[in-house]
Structure 1
Amino acid sequence: MVAETRKRSLVLHLAANPNPISIRLSEETAADLAPRLIQVVRNGHTQAIPTEDGKEFVVNFSHVVAAHFA
């Protein structure tokens, strides 16, 4: 049986940038953010997102047009 690959890259499409930004997340961060992503984008929250390498990426979701995991 092949293990399912989890989607752990957060892909952000910004209003003023035609190129998407991809942020690699830890499994824990992806699991925490996934059920809240729609609400975070709708409300335009600014949130620090822990990255896979232990750093933080601050995102102002009011500038995000679309967001998804890949």
Structure 2
Amino acid sequence: TASKPASDSVDGLTHDSKDNVQTIIYTSNQEAANVTYIDDTTGKTLSAKDLTGDYGSTDPYRTGDTIADYEKQGYQLV
């Protein structure tokens, strides 16, 4: 997200005008995702994990351990 919607317009510039310096700062937007584990037979939600973070970042959450736990319980990944 930009710190302001647009740069300021400048009229009357010529080859000998002073430099026009404008600063616009961009910050990352917050994003959200949800990982849901569902029993395909019953339709029941087994668990869910909400993830949040800055756009373009990587969440440390990994599905491997959760899937392994469900497989130990007799579930199959589909």
By the TM > 0.5 criterion, same fold? no
The structure with the greater share of residues assigned to strand is 1
- Structure with the bigger RCO (C-alpha within 8 Å, sep 6+) is 1
More helix by share: 1
Q: TM-score, normalised by structure 1?
A: 0.33
Give the TM-score, by structure 2 length.
0.32
Q: Name the larger-Rg structure.
A: 2
